[in-house]
Amino acid sequence: MNDCLPTESGLWQYVESTIRQVVASYGYQEIRTPIVESTDLFKRSIGEVTDIVEKEMYTFEDRNSDSLSLRPEGTACVVRAGNEHGLLYNQQQRLWYMGQMFRHERPQKGRYRQFHQFGVEVFGLAGPDIDAEVILLSARLWKKFGISQNVTLEINSLGSADARVSYKKQLVAFLKTRESELDEDSLRRLKTNPLRVLDSKNPQVQNAVKDAPKLIDCLDEESAKHFQGLCERLDNLGIQYRVNPALVRGLDYYNRTVFEWVTESLGSQGTVCAGGRYDGLVEQLGGKATQGVGFAMGLERLVLMLQTLDLDKNIVSVVDIYVTAMDESVELYARQVSETLRDAVPQIKLMNHCGGGNFKKQMKRADQSGASIAFIIGQDEMASQQVAIKYLREKQPQETISLNELTHFTQKLFNV
Ligand code: ATP
Ligand code: MG
C-alpha cells in the first residue's frame, strides 16, 4: 500500500480533475459507496472461483461476527447501492466512481494491495450504442492525457450465458487433450471455471490454449449482431481495435462485449482499463433484471504512464509565484498584495515567504518552491507602491511594476 507524497499528489490531482471533467462532458453522475461491504456481495457477484474471491480479498469479522471485506472492485458495490436505493429498475443511469480498492496480491510495479480505480457503470441500456460510448469516453481520456499512442484497444464478445454453456463443453474437450501442458491453477480451473484457463498469464498455458476453439465463433445470433454493431460504431468513430478471441476477463459476471485497453509501457502489468457488459448482474444481486455495461481503470498504472512523459510543468506545479518580504516592516504590505491577487485570480498558486531571513535565503526558498516568478518586496517597493518581478527560470531582466498593473500582469500569466 502506497503513501502518496507531496511530490506525486500534484499529478494525481491532475489525473482526477481531468477525469471529472471528461465524465461531466458525457453527462455521467458520481456515485460514492463505502469501502467495506458484506463479503457475500463479492462472492455472489465476482464469483467464488475467481482469483479475487479465492485469494485476494481482505476479509475480516466485525464485532457482530459478520464477515466483511474491503472492496476489491467497484461494480458490485455500485449495483448493490443501485438496488438498495431503487436506482436501476426501469431506469437509465450513467454513473461513475473513483476510489481505493484492495486486493492481497504480490506487490510489484503496477500491482499493489491498495490501489485506485476510476470506473463508469451504465444501467438500463441494451444496445451496442452505449458500449461504444463508454469506450469512446475512455478513448477521450487517453487523448486528454496525450497517451493515445501508448494504448491499444482489444475487444471480444462472450455471447450469452446459454451460448457459453455449449462452448464450455467444446473448450473442456479441447483442454483435456492438453492437460499435460497446463499448470496447477489451470487444471483446477478446468474443473471449476474452464473459461478462465484462457485468461492464464502463464506463457506455457497461453501456448497450450492458442488453438482452442474460439468463443467468438460460437456466438448466438443476437450477441453476434450486437458485436457487429459495436465494431461498426468503433469503425465509424475512428477508434482502432483488435478483436482478441482469448479475452475473457477474470470476473464471472460479464456477457457479450468485453474490452481492455493495454499498453506496452508497463511491462507485464499491461492492462490499464478493462470492462464490458454485465446484463445478468443486477438480477443476480437481487434486483429486477436490468442491463449493465462499464469499465474500471487502474489509476496507478495510468499515473506510471504519465510519469514517463514530460508533462507540462504548469500542469503539476504547486507554486507559480513566490512573494518575498525583505523585512518585517513590509510583511503586511506583501500579504495585502498577495490577498488582492488571490481575489483577482482564483486559480493562482502563490506562496508567501514566512520565517524572515536575508535576500539570499528568501531567494533560495523561492527557488525550492518551484515557482517560475518571485515578487521581490522591500521597503523601496512598499514606499513606491510597486513590486519587483524576478524571473527564476528564464533569462529575462528583472522588472518593476506598479500595484495597479500587477493584477493585470498576473491575470495575463494565468490567461484570465
Ligand atoms: P490483472 O489482470 O492485471 O490482475 P484484473 O483483471 O485483476 O487485472 P480488473 O479487476 O479488471 O483487473 O481491474 C481493472 C483495472 O484495475 C486493471 O486493468 C488494472 O489497471 C487495475 N488493477 C487491478 N488490480 C490492481 C492492483 N492490484 N494494483 C493496481 N492496479 C490494479
Ligand atoms: Mg488481477
Q: Is 127 helix (H, G, I), strand (E, B) or coil?
A: coil
- CA dist 373 and 41 (Å) reads 54
Do residue 57 and residue 152 come from a single domain? yes
The answer to whether 103 is a known ligand-binding residue is: yes
Do residue 40 and residue 149 come from a single domain? yes
316 in a structural domain:
no
The per-residue pLDDT for 291 is: 97
The per-residue pLDDT for 254 is: 87
Ligand 1 atom at minimal distance to the Cα of residue 52: 7
Cβ(196) to ligand 1 under 6 A?
no
Ligand 1 atom at minimal distance to the Cα of residue 297: 15
CA dihedral 220, 222, 227, 230 (to 10 degrees): 180
Do residue 58 and residue 198 come from a single domain? no
Q: Which ligand is nearest to the CA of 103?
A: 1
C-alpha dist (Å) from residue 124 to 163, 279, 288: 22, 9, 11
Where do the H-state alpha helices sit in 156-277?
A: 161-176, 184-192, 203-208, 221-236
The per-residue pLDDT for 250 is: 65
Cβ(76) to ligand 1 under 6 A?
no
Sheet with 59-61, side-by-side order of all strands:
36-38, 67-70, 59-61
Q: Which of 116, 18, 91 is nearest to 292 (CA)?
A: 91
Cβ burial 183-212 (10 Å sphere, 16+ → b, else e): eebbeebbeebbbbbbbbeeeebeebbeeb
The per-residue pLDDT for 22 is: 98
Range of the domain at 352: 321-413
Q: Which ligand is nearest to the CA of 301?
A: 1
- CA dist 368 and 134 (Å) reads 42
- CA dist 287 and 294 (Å) reads 18
Q: Is 101 helix (H, G, I), strand (E, B) or coil?
A: strand
The per-residue pLDDT for 200 is: 85
Ligand 1 atom at minimal distance to the Cα of residue 273: 18
Cβ(269) to ligand 1 under 6 A?
yes
Task: Output the CA 401–ligand 1 centroid distance in Å.
Answer: 53
Do residue 151 and residue 124 come from a single domain? yes
Grid coordinates given for 178:
492438453
Q: Is 309 helix (H, G, I), strand (E, B) or coil?
A: coil
Do residue 166 and residue 86 come from a single domain? no
Do residue 263 and residue 140 come from a single domain? yes
Cβ(271) to ligand 1 under 6 A?
yes
- Ranges under pLDDT 70 in the chain: 250-251, 313-314
The per-residue pLDDT for 317 is: 82
Task: Output the CA 132–ligand 1 centroid distance in Å.
Answer: 22
Do residue 27 and residue 130 come from a single domain? yes
315 in a structural domain:
no
C-alpha dist (Å) from residue 25 to 19, 21, 163, 208, 315: 10, 6, 37, 45, 20
Whole-angstrom Cα Rg for the chain: 27
In terms of Cβ atoms closer than 10 Å to its own Cβ (0-12, 13-18, 19+), residue 292 is buried
